[in-house]
Chains A and B, each alone.
Chain A
Amino acid sequence: MEAQTPSERALNILRRRLCDPNFIFSAFSDSPDSNYSKLKYLISDSVTKGCNNSMLLLGPSGCGKIEILDLVLKDLRNENPEMISVVKLDGQLHSDDNHALKEIARQLCSEHKLLFSKVASSDDNSQFMIAVLREYGLAHMTMIFVLDEFDLFTQYQFSKSCSLQGKQRFLYSLLDAMQSVKSQAVVVGVSCRLDADQLLEKRVRSRFSHRKLLFLPPSNGEIQKLFDCILTLPADSSLPDDYVIKFNAKINNILGDQRLKEILNTLSVSDSSVRQFLKFLFRVVCDMDTKSGLLSLENFQAAVLSIQRQPKLEIQRGS
């Protein structure tokens, strides 16, 4: 295990990078007009000013909405610890309002080392949430609610054919609690439905600010930057210097190749999200020749073929 070759270690580094969204999206964070900076400004503003806020992050799936949000929250937590606590909910898991309230209570309990009661009723949980919100307001701390798959929170009640009052009850009670109590809270909804704000019913919409941040698939320039950033090995790692130089030279070489541009083009025709690009790079890196330890253009070509598979055709052919 200790006797790993440089190429194996390089492979390990690359794979770690590809599977770590923090690394990948931090590449986007430096420019001032990026979504990262906007989002950070919005949230830190409401943290320092001590006001309520709400916003929606919209964009097609796989473009790093939640990843960038995570990055922002991590940075903010580092900058002002003890000021922020984050509650994360997912529309797929907690769209039922009872479960959502329970999950909020559970996360708050585990954050403040309180004993969480599983049998607490939904009313108890909502009381608890309001009490905590009030305390937060008094202590000038900000609670951040992250609602992933926001559209599902708006849809759940329709299927249950509840009374009118039951519609979007969770969102309503959350937003209403924020307004009625003197609190500091930020609600961030994340959705890949661009019309997510239209799904809100009137009483919820009026309590929701209509701030929207649009996340778009990366442009060609960004893809190339990402490519360079992910595949270039760091010079200060434990890897031998000459190997790193050779590897990076090869990557630069490939990056300048016209054929690579064609490959990236074909890739972005079907799906231009970051996630698809990462999947592609993952395959490339997996196919890396461990003997020479270098990536070659053939790796890229093979990977794009394996991504463009046509499963139905394969099964029909039976081979």
Chain B
Amino acid sequence: MENEGSPHVIRRTTRSSSSSMPNTPNKIQESKKKVDSCSPSILDDLVSREEHVSLDTLVSNFPGRKLQILDILRLVGPLNSPMLPLYLYGGPSTGKTSVVLQIFRHLKRPFVYSGCRTCYNPRVLFESILNQLALHRRNLGNGYSSAKRCERPADFVTYLQELLTGVITSLKANSAKPGLLETGERASGEMVYLIFDDIELVREWHKHSGIISLLFKLHCYLKIPEVGLIFITNSSPDTYYLDTVLAEEPVHLFFPDYTEDELEQIFLRNQPNPKLYSSFLDAVLNPFCRITRRIDVLSIAFEPLFQKYCKPLSDLGLVPNRDEKRILCSYLNPHIALSTNEVFKVLSNSSLEVEENEEKAKKKENVRKLGDGQDPNDIDFHISISAKYLLISAFLASRNPATLDAALFDSTGGGDNRKRKRKSSETSKEQKEQGEQDLLMKGPGTFPLERLLAIFQCITSVAEGFVEEEQLKDGLLEVEVGDCGLMSDVLLQLSTLCNASFISRGESCPLEGLTRYRSTVSEDMALKVARSLKFPLSKYLYRR
């Protein structure tokens, strides 16, 4: 134990510094002196090496999290008191992990942290926990091997039990020596806490569905009262009911999203000129809050905006008065719209349930508005460009008979051929007038996914040529198209459109067994969307 002392510091440093809030860099000071002065032991290794924080600084470091911090402290309890497993949940970037880690820094109790994002399969997770408990470091000397090779849950439980009993006996022996406690630098208490972060990811590990219930039942298996378990996740507890019907249900604690005021407090921390920044936030925070309250997204979006905000100012230490504020705001306003668009796009691509739901709700709302007849020429809801193209191609696939596809869309998608092809479709028009009437009565036809994708590819390749021509005319469009590859996440977009009931998913074809889709948008709507893209939809329509 003694001889493998100092190298541990490195590991701890990386973990603790990554865990701290990004806006408290001044707090992260690795106290190397401490390591030199006292001989490292099991306690030092499992306790956070950072400076001790008092409760007041802890609370002030996390604006808006006071209730949660106090709750966690109460549930974790005073020294040497056992606890039931704790389950912390809340949206992404609401400070769950950092609050917990800072609390343990405050309590100075030994803990083992393992994030299921870095520990990407059961074996890595098990071995990382066991390594931390056994004070084992993988290095060149031991060929980067773990302390124990452990793949199966049964082995994990056995090893964990052995190691934990060892650690706890040594903790008890240490706390029995009063001399060590007085130094105030040692770990306190006889409890060891195991913290599991991001456990929602465990559910996605294939063939390892048992792991999540293993984690939830861990304290029944271990039966050691000196072990506290803390689970951190961003999905709500009822998502686990299926996995853990039999398992022990932990004590829940919810981390709500930050409110606007709290966000303001957070962003105002560590600002050189808080007055100026707060006037900037007044202008910016409200529109952004409607889209997201994630600090990580917001801070990225705010940085360039603040620079633009400050551009007209000569002196950054200035405190703007009311008129100046108004001028600055009007200068900033166009950028805000642009930037919210960007944030929105990022979110719509990431498959976050909640945001998607919000988005869908918005769309539906707007569709209803359209139905009321407001703004006839303009679609005022946001969907990404590729989704618009997808919508159009679905409309085309539903409207046009499949046999005409080859005529309408050249495989090269060249714009030059289009007129000739269209003429040929015009000549056949009269002969098939009766058929058309039938089609109209039948309503939109169904189509397989392959056909939709083929049409989508054709019209996007045409459109890209288009956009290049019009780049100079329309700056905004260029920005939007330039950034996102049109083919990105098509299937995701399709499922979004299905969910938003723009496209309906029919039952599978009895012969082919493939799911068939049907576009449910009206022609007016499709034309509107096409207009917003400057896409010549009418040229591709079979009848017109």
Contacts and interface: CB of A to CB of B under 8 A. Distances in A.
B210 to A, nearest CB: 6
Contact of B256 (A4, A312, A314): A314
Contacts of B89: 311
B157 A286 contact: no
A279 B80 contact: no
B466 interface: no
Interface string A256-276: 000000000000000000011
B246 A19 contact: no
A319 B157 CA distance: 38
A267 B407 CA distance: 68
Given A1-B79, A16-B82, A311-B236, A318 B248 contact: no
Given A1-B79, A15-B77, A275-B248, A319 B259 contact: yes
Contact of A93 (B157, B248, B256, B257): B157
A106 B254 CA distance: 42
Interface stretch (B213-221, B311-319, B468-476, B479-487): B213-221
Nearest to B245: A61
B238 interface: yes
Interface string B62-102: 00000000000011011111111000010100000000000
B252 interface: yes
B44 to A, nearest CB: 19
B238 A286 contact: no
Interface residues of B, number: 42
Contacts of B75: 283, 286
Contacts of B84: 18-19, 278-279, 282
A182 to B, nearest CB: 30
B152 to A, nearest CB: 7
Contacts, number: 93
A283 B154 CA distance: 31
Interface in A281-312: 282-283, 286-287, 306, 309, 311-312
Nearest to A276: B249
B293 interface: yes
Given A8-B78, A15-B81, A315-B354, A306 B252 contact: yes
Given A92-B213, A93-B154, A311 B256 contact: no
Contacts of B74: 286-287
Contact of B236 (A149, A278, A312): A312
B218 to A, nearest CB: 11
B82 A279 contact: no
Contacts of B415: none
B238 A93 contact: no
Nearest to B156: A93
Interface string B219-239: 011000100000000001110
B87 to A, nearest CB: 10
A287 B67 CA distance: 12
B355 to A, nearest CB: 11
Contacts of B404: none
B202 to A, nearest CB: 15
Given A15-B81, A306-B252, A315 B236 contact: yes
Given A93-B153, A282-B84, A309 B254 contact: yes
A94 to B, nearest CB: 5
A135 interface: no
A177 interface: no
Contacts of B38: none
B248 A92 contact: no
Q: Which of B84, B153, B214, B247 has the most CB of A within 10 A?
A: B84
Q: Which of B82, B158, B210, B256 has the most CB of A within 10 A?
A: B82
Contacts of B80: 12
A20 interface: yes
Contacts of B153: 92-93
Given A20-B225, A282-B84, A315-B91, A61 B257 contact: no
Contact of A318 (B236, B246, B257): B257
Contacts of A15: 77, 81-83
A61 B246 CA distance: 6
A311 B83 contact: no
B237 A93 contact: no
Contacts of B82: 15-16, 19-20
A278 to B, nearest CB: 8
Contacts of A312: 236, 238
A12 B190 CA distance: 13
Given A286-B75, A286-B77, A90 B83 contact: no
B297 interface: no
Interface in B142-181: 152-154, 157-158, 181
A7 to B, nearest CB: 10
B393 interface: no
Nearest to A110: B158
Given A15-B82, A93-B153, A282 B246 contact: no
Interface string B347-384: 00000001000000000000000000000000000000
Nearest to B236: A311
Interface in A1-56: 1, 4, 8, 11-12, 15-16, 18-20
B492 interface: no
Given A12-B80, A319-B259, A192 B154 contact: no
A12 B78 contact: yes
Given A19-B84, A315-B354, A11 B77 contact: yes
Contacts of A4: 78
A203 to B, nearest CB: 26
Interface string B303-337: 00000000000000000000000000000000000
A314 to B, nearest CB: 6
Contacts of B251: 279, 282-283
B189 to A, nearest CB: 9
B293 A311 contact: no
A99 interface: yes
A66 B247 CA distance: 13
Nearest to A17: B82
Contacts of A94: 154
Contacts of B132: none
B389 to A, nearest CB: 31
A97 interface: no
B493 interface: no
B398 interface: no
A221 B287 CA distance: 56
Interface of B: 74-75, 77-84, 89, 91, 152-154, 157-158, 181, 188, 210, 213-214, 217, 220-221, 225, 236-238, 245-249, 251-252, 254, 256-257, 259, 293, 354
| Ranked 3 nearest A-B pairs via Cβ | A311-B236, A19-B82, A93-B154
25 contacts: A1-B181, A1-B188, A8-B78, A12-B77, A15-B77, A15-B81, A18-B84, A19-B225, A20-B82, A61-B245, A61-B247, A92-B210, A93-B152, A93-B157, A279-B249, A282-B84, A282-B251, A283-B75, A286-B75, A309-B252, A309-B254, A314-B256, A315-B91, A318-B257, A319-B257
Given A93-B154, A314-B256, A318-B91, 15 more contacts: A19-B83, A19-B84, A61-B247, A92-B213, A93-B152, A93-B157, A93-B214, A99-B154, A103-B154, A275-B248, A283-B251, A309-B254, A311-B236, A311-B254, A315-B354
